[in-house]
Chains A and B, each alone.
Chain A
Amino acid sequence: MASDPMGSQLRRILSIFFSLSIILPLSSPSPTMHNNNWAVLVCTSRFWFNYRHMANTLSLYRTVKRLGIPDERIILMLADDMACNARNNYPAQVFNNENHQLNLYGDNVEVDYRGYEVTVENFLRVLTGRHEASVPRSKRLLSDEGSHILLYMTGHGGNEFLKFQDTEELQSHDLADAVKQMKEKNRFKELLIMVDTCQAATLFSQLQSPGVVTIGSSMKGENSYSHHLDPDVGVSVVDRFTFYTLAFFERLDMYSNASLNSLFTSYDPTLLMSTAYYRTDLYERPLNMVPVTNFFGSVMKTIPTDSAYPGFLVAHASEYATISAETETARVVLEDEADHSKTYDQSEKGLQHILDEWLKLLEGKLGVKDPEVLVAYGLGSMVLLLTISTWLSS
């Protein structure tokens, strides 16, 4: 061995290679690595007196956007009849507090399903992904097996149901079924369902898919109450559960790592006037180890690129050079052809050419630029000539 430095060097190459291959920046995912966050925010009420539900949803929309989830990964479903409602004292503005400090409808609100498009069927289609082929990408939940999804629903609800737009209901087993279908197709890695309605905890009583954590603003038999009335606007502007949720998030920014447990335990039953009940039996991670930005913020796993593929251009250079040279020659050839065709035209269509020249001459002589006028003059003079000749010959 010692007498053969080359062989030992080769062996060293091997060992270096193996050790490096272990330390190399990881490109080693399992297919279930968390790589993006989605939010589906649904306001299931319409009409003026349900102002607070729209304010709830818009507040949460603003929060998740501020924490980094982009519009392309938010599906916002609103009836959207508050801001421009005839009864709105502050047109085009929606507030969630009577101090009117924050206009939720101010900038960049992208509503995906508005008005009468907010139906149970569309909601279930969004969740399960079964759309018609013509539905645009912005209206689809394009999550994959590495996505964490936040599903927030607010409106009027009851025991095992949620009322949609005063005409239909979403039942708890429909929701459970949709979540089961989503899990079968691996449309999410983890799902956080947050519901702010009366008897909210009953809505997820039938869920059985793993990877789902849910929190509702009240338990069976309890109501969820609004927080305060805005005397200017004339209706209640926010619900208690959402109000305290927003209060929790106002202290956070993109970089913070407060845990989901701290969020869930921050709700005080006396302040909420109901019990915020959460269900973690389907979720395997302990809640104090899950940062809220795993659901409410944006996570982008980034890996610095260690090198380009340098041989590519070298290998390609000869081909590329020939290709560009070819295109050059091709263009030159084309130009030659263009010249050719011009001379070709000139020789063949000599008559046309002569007439053109004659027209140009006339234009120059008569000082008339517009060929239409020239033609009119020509016709007029022809008619004159004809009349004169007929009169002469008669």
Chain B
Amino acid sequence: MADDTSAAAGTSTETGAGTESNLRTTKPGTKRLFLTVSVLISFLLGAPFLLKSTEIHRSPLPSAAISSLSDHLHSNPPSFPCHFQAIFLSPFKPSDSSLSLSVAERIRAQLSAQSCGNCNFTVSVTVDSGSSCRHEGDAASAACLWECGGGGLVDAIEGRDDQGIDELLLSAVNGRTGGCAGRVYSIFVIEGRDERVVIGKHRHAWMVLKDLDDSTSVVSMIGTVFGDYFMRGGVEKGEYIPVGSDGNVVLSFSLLNSNPSDWIYDWDFQRTGEVLLAPVLEALAPVANITMESQVLYHAPKSSISYWDEKLEAYVVNTRDLPFFVNSNEWHLDTSLSASGRSKVLQFVVYVPSASECPLYIRTPEGEMSKTNAFISPMWGGVAIWNPPGCSMQSQGIHIVRDVLPPQELEKIIEIFIGQLRLLFGLNSNYVEPSPKFKVLASEKGFTNWELDLLYRQHTCFNLLSSLSTLQSLSTLVESLPRMIVMDEIGKQVELSLEAANLAESNISLGINNASALSSIRARALAEDAFFHPSIMSISYSSMEHYFAIYMPFFAPVSLHVLLAAVKEVKRYFAERSKYLTFRASKLKSS
């Protein structure tokens, strides 16, 4: 600047006094301006490239869809449409006008806590007794109403045994309620001499009553069957979900020889067990993908103490000692080959006691001998004790008995295991029948159809809520760590999980219970896979401060300098330009 003014001073001293610092005769140079501004512009142009190159790959998660579905599920929990219909096959004149309403009221009165998977029920009553046919109440749809003309059933029922009546009524229900056969629960009321109530193994029950005019007892009986059995499975409250988060369950059957030097037992579980249990596993397929395995173990003593009881001439394990029965140090039950990381393993153990403790019995909390000699531990499995025959008369034999568990005994043990499996899934192992007039039929699948419906409902509801909460936690976690890499796989799993959850919900409203259960398992498995993906490690190296700490030491001083220089140069250029312009103006004025 000093040079310019001194160079111009020579020419401008003649023209005026006092204005030499404001004038310059040459155009100001643009080289420096160009240089600094170009550096600044290159920084500005390069900034997006820098941001792009340091971008973290984050697969976008549909957080809005997740939170909306989650809110929707929490505000209106999944409600399964169930239709209860009472069909009177004998002439019936109700004393009050609306029987269906009183039945519905009765069922509602029994509903204690709103557990997950309750039915959204509708009740209808049909009187179909040959001469007249009358419907009353609401039906889910017109197709679910009982078609009239079943008057001949009463005669057909006479003289058949319970299984036969069950099958007959099944065909009647299938024939007369059209497309709703899987969603309608029916009870047939017949007037007759010997009173009984029988709940079948499909979705219907029948009642023989002497006096149909006593409407309060009729209503209460119907309400019991519908509310306590068909809707709640006969349990007060019980919700065990012993299913692994990937939808797999492994049933591990073990035969434990406590002391092989006394006797060694083997079993043919492969044939017997698989044949007997195959229908059970198939029936439970919408609830979990169940596989079975079996093993025989030796040298597996129990770790609790038993007492000799003189009266029974046997060794007794008290209920107090049962929690210490399972000797986890010696019982190597956890050698499953087929269980992957997130499956649930349920152990079913047959314990063969040694000669020093044989026969061995379990005492119930009420002080009596257990009829099954077995116990369960929820979410773990069950243990059944099998005493070898003739062991109470065993003298000190020198021969080691090597034998195979007789097939009849094995079948009895499998019956106990089925009871335990039912307990583990939250149902009763068997129905306490207070009198021979009340009966619940057993099914070869281990679970009756209405119990399976209850399980499907419970599991669907649980799986849906669990998968939505998992997805919600995942999306909050991902949002709280803006610098964490979210892989494509996770995004895909979340999408598929949401899709399955939506499908399950739509199937619920349509009433297709097993399809909704399957979709809900899938939704939960995918959600858990996404949440537990090994790449999500929230260690704090992926934080925003880290990013700044890497780049700021270089870019902060450099950009400061560049910016300041550019600003200074631009200011200087304009100042010089204005000087030149005033010079030009004064020159023009003077000339």
Contact = CB atoms under 8 A, between A and B. Distances in A.
Interface of A: 4, 6-7, 9-11, 13-14, 16-17, 20-22, 24-25, 27-31, 33, 35-36, 65, 68-73, 108, 120-121, 124-125, 128-133, 135-138, 140, 142, 144, 146, 171, 173-174, 177, 181, 184-185, 254-255, 298-316, 319-320, 323-324
B432 A20 contact: yes
A130 B531 CA distance: 8
B437 A9 contact: yes
Contacts of B426: 27
A304 B430 contact: no
8 contacts: A13-B434, A21-B236, A29-B240, A36-B379, A130-B537, A136-B341, A181-B538, A309-B419
| The 9 A-B residue pairs with the shortest CB-CB distance in the complex, in nearest-first order | A311-B442, A70-B328, A308-B415, A316-B444, A315-B444, A302-B322, A16-B434, A307-B430, A305-B374
B35 to A, nearest CB: 48
B371 A174 contact: no
Given A9-B435, A24-B432, A309 B422 contact: yes
- The dominant DSSP class at the B interface is loop
A67 B39 CA distance: 73
Contact of A305 (B195, B382, B470): B382
B72 interface: no
B471 to A, nearest CB: 12
Contact of B539 (A124, A133, A138, A312): A124
B275 to A, nearest CB: 6
A170 B375 CA distance: 44
Contact of B237 (A20, A28, A35, A65): A28
Interface stretch (B74-82, B169-177, B210-218, B293-301): B210-218
Nearest to A146: B379
B502 interface: no
A7 B434 contact: no
B443 interface: yes
A28 B532 CA distance: 30
Given A28-B237, A307-B419, A320-B275, A133 B341 contact: yes
B209 to A, nearest CB: 8
B428 interface: yes
Given A305-B370, A305-B423, A312-B415, A125 B339 contact: no
Contact of B329 (A17, A108, A138): A108
A127 B416 CA distance: 37
B534 interface: yes
B446 A305 contact: no
Contacts of B236: 21-22, 24, 28
A17 B438 contact: yes
Given A14-B220, A301-B323, A304-B319, A309 B375 contact: no
B575 interface: no
A71 B328 contact: yes
B105 to A, nearest CB: 17
A135 B416 CA distance: 35
Nearest to B480: A177
Contact of B378 (A9, A35, A65): A35
Given A35-B379, A130-B534, A6 B328 contact: no
Contacts of B238: 27-29
A294 to B, nearest CB: 13
Contact of A33 (B326, B378, B432, B442): B378
Contact of B437 (A13, A68, A177, A306): A13
A30 B209 CA distance: 38
Among B221, B339, B539, the one with the most A-chain Cβ atoms within 10 Å of its Cβ is: B539
A10 B437 contact: yes
Contact of A14 (B224, B241, B323, B430): B224
Contacts of B477: 181
A208 B365 CA distance: 41
Among B211, B328, B376, the one with the most A-chain Cβ atoms within 10 Å of its Cβ is: B328
Contacts of A121: 537, 539
Given A130-B534, A300-B326, A308 B217 contact: no
A300 B429 contact: no
A39 to B, nearest CB: 13
Nearest to A147: B379
A29 B580 CA distance: 92
Nearest to A22: B236
A319 B444 contact: yes
Given A70-B329, A312-B442, A4 B210 contact: yes
B380 interface: yes
A382 B376 CA distance: 77
A27 B362 contact: no
A21 B326 CA distance: 29
A137 B419 contact: no
B325 interface: yes
B132 interface: no
B364 interface: yes
B329 A309 contact: no
Contacts of B411: 313
A308 B276 contact: no
B533 interface: yes
A70 B441 CA distance: 41
B214 to A, nearest CB: 6
B322 A125 contact: no
Contacts of B354: none
Contacts of A306: 364, 370-372, 429-430
B231 interface: no
A320 B430 contact: no
Contacts of B444: 312, 315-316, 319
Contacts of A184: 473
A130 B235 contact: no
A311 B428 CA distance: 14
Given A142-B341, A313-B415, 5 more contacts: A10-B195, A27-B428, A129-B532, A184-B473, A300-B325
A136 to B, nearest CB: 8
Interface string B501-540: 0000000000000000000000000000001111011111
Contact of A144 (B195, B379, B442, B531): B379
Contacts of A131: 341, 532, 534
Contacts of A14: 220-221, 224
A326 B284 CA distance: 25
Given A137-B334, A307-B372, A312-B415, A27 B423 contact: yes
Contact of A130 (B362, B364, B378, B533): B533
A272 to B, nearest CB: 32
B377 to A, nearest CB: 5
A228 to B, nearest CB: 31
Contact of A310 (B195, B325, B430, B470): B430
Contacts of B416: 305, 308
Contacts of B211: 4, 7
A173 to B, nearest CB: 7
Contacts of B220: 14
B239 interface: yes
Contacts of A125: 534, 537
